[in-house]
Amino acid sequence: MIVGKTASDIFEQIRLRVQSGELCPGDTLPSVRDLALALDVNRNTVASAYKRLTDAGIAESRGRNGTVIRDNAAPAQQEGTPPGLALIDLAGGNPSPVLLPDMSIALSRIQLKPRLYGEPPVGDEIGRYGRAWFAEDIDVPFELTLSSGAVDAVERILCSYLIGGDRVAVEDPCFLSSISTIRNNRFLPVGVGMDEEGPDTGLLAEQLASGAQAVIITPRAHNPTGWGLSEQRAGEIRELLIQYPQVLVIVDDHFSLLSTCRYHHVIPPTTRHWALVRSTSKFLGPDLRLAFVASDSETAMRLQQRLNAGTNWVSHILQDMVLATLQSAELSASIQQAKEIYHSRRKVLLSALADCGIEISSRHDGLNLWVPLRGQSAPVVMQMAQRGWLVRGGEAFGLSGDCNGLRITVSDLKEESAGIFAETLAALLKH
């Protein structure tokens, strides 16, 4: 039985019952009204306790369905698939291993020397490279920081500004790591529906008006859809954000050097706290995880403080390898080749699907194509697996529950296989 007269007492009582196992994940707490009557306290006292439970990640509010004990042990959805599968893998979301540069060449060209505590966190040369890269797209002063990948940067920046329960506006469907990062840090992801030109400006306006404290936008090669911001939509979002200078804006330009679409900047000069993140994972491989982060000076300081509390800096050896790759004509050519091959594979599959009567958006970028479905994807995913093809159901990427579709990763899809895949999928969808 829950007892207590103050919000703190009620919070601690419920927290203790969760820790002892008396309350289990999925258990519904009494309504605010019922518990207030039982304890003879004001409803606001119970509501305050429940809000604290939600902010602490112990419970979650499900609107009319009440407040429910949260399952923090539930495994998060992840990218990638296990190696050695018998199926043809079009589900993993990975870059093609054969299209990644030979990093042994970069390693042979750098001078390995020890760095000790007190070293500048960003090497001079890679700092100059990064600042020149961002200067092409940013027209306000900015600071440069390096992090261990885009997800690392996004998480550290969000945690430096937000508190538990804060709302973060993201595209819907959304990148799996963004969803996990937001939820694991006890923030609330709120979805903004999108089309092939990017997030819907009207829906984003609703979330901002409802108190979203931060927004994360993918300007190109959106995962899972492969869409990107059009120039017009980017301009609309930029104008909208002018009205909310206090909102933290993070732009995750993860595909950058491999993109076949122009970058359109959405961050207005009035935004106080912002970051543009460009990682190397897609063109150097996920294991060589480094991200360039351009941001306002306060965000850079907060990000660096959080890096100092952890690893202090991104490995200078890794920095040297990335710089050697980006500055090498030979290795840069391999990145350009990968860009062209990914583009070709997307076009081939798009054409093969169209030939079989499956019309999808002609706007595409990145490693994936998105096939909308009228119903749940699970039956199609299962039947495709029975025919030798592994694809990813779209519902995993959704926040609103209606993201029915298939995400198809084209990284290793051979031209001769695209037609067979399209025919197989079309035959299933007809039924």
Q: Is position 2 within any domain?
A: no
Do 244 and 205 share a domain, yes or no? yes
228-255 pLDDT tens trace = 999 999 999 999 999 999 999 999 999 9
Q: Is position 24 within any domain?
A: yes
Do 240 and 364 share a domain, yes or no? no
Do 318 and 385 share a domain, yes or no? no
User: Which residue among 296, 311, 327 closes a domain?
Assistant: 327
Do 347 and 311 share a domain, yes or no? no
Do 139 and 172 share a domain, yes or no? yes
Contact 377, 157 (CB under 8 A): no
Q: Is position 57 within any domain?
A: yes
What pLDDT is attached to residue 184?
Answer: 87
Q: Is position 289 within any domain?
A: yes
Q: What is the DSSP string of 218-229?
A: --SS-TTT----
What pLDDT is attached to residue 61?
Answer: 83
Number of structural domains the chain divides into: 3
Do 303 and 379 share a domain, yes or no? no
User: Which residue among 272, 294, 327 closes a domain?
Assistant: 327
Q: Is position 370 within any domain?
A: yes
User: The CATH number of the domain where 117 resides is what?
Assistant: 3.40.640.10
Do 313 and 385 share a domain, yes or no? no
Q: Which residues of 231-243 are buried (b: 16+ CB within 10 A; e: fewer)?
A: eebbebbbebbee
What pLDDT is attached to residue 311?
Answer: 57
Strand residue runs (E) in 163-317? 167-172, 188-195, 198-199, 214-217, 248-252, 274-279, 291-295
By residue range, what is the domain housing residue 190? Answer: 107-327
Do 241 and 346 share a domain, yes or no? no
Do 250 and 112 share a domain, yes or no? yes
Do 363 and 416 share a domain, yes or no? yes
What pLDDT is attached to residue 310?
Answer: 57
Q: Is position 78 within any domain?
A: no
pLDDT along the chain (431 residues), means of 10: 86 90 90 89 91 84 84 65 79 93 86 82 94 95 96 96 91 92 89 95 97 97 96 98 98 96 96 97 91 98 84 83 90 92 96 94 94 93 95 91 90 94 94 76
Joined together, the tokens standing for residue 296 give 């306002």
Q: Which amino acid is at 86?
A: A
User: The CATH number of the domain where 357 resides is what?
Assistant: 3.90.1150.10
Do 320 and 335 share a domain, yes or no? no
Integer CA distances (angstroms), 49 to 9, 42, 43, 54, 327, in order: 8, 11, 10, 9, 56
Q: Is position 81 within any domain?
A: no
Q: Is position 74 within any domain?
A: no
What pLDDT is attached to residue 270?
Answer: 96
Q: How many CA atoms lie within 13 A of 291 on its CB side?
A: 27
User: The CATH number of the domain where 65 resides is what?
Assistant: 1.10.10.10
User: Which residue among 274, 296, 327 closes a domain?
Assistant: 327
Do 395 and 250 share a domain, yes or no? no
The Cα 63–Cα 99 span in angstroms is 47
Q: Which residues of 324-361 are buried (b: 16+ CB within 10 A; e: fewer)?
A: bbbebeebeebbeebbebbbebbbbbbebbeebeeebb
- Which one, of 144, 123, 174, 173, lies nearest residue 278 by Cα? 144
Q: How many CA atoms lie within 13 A of 398 on its CB side?
A: 17
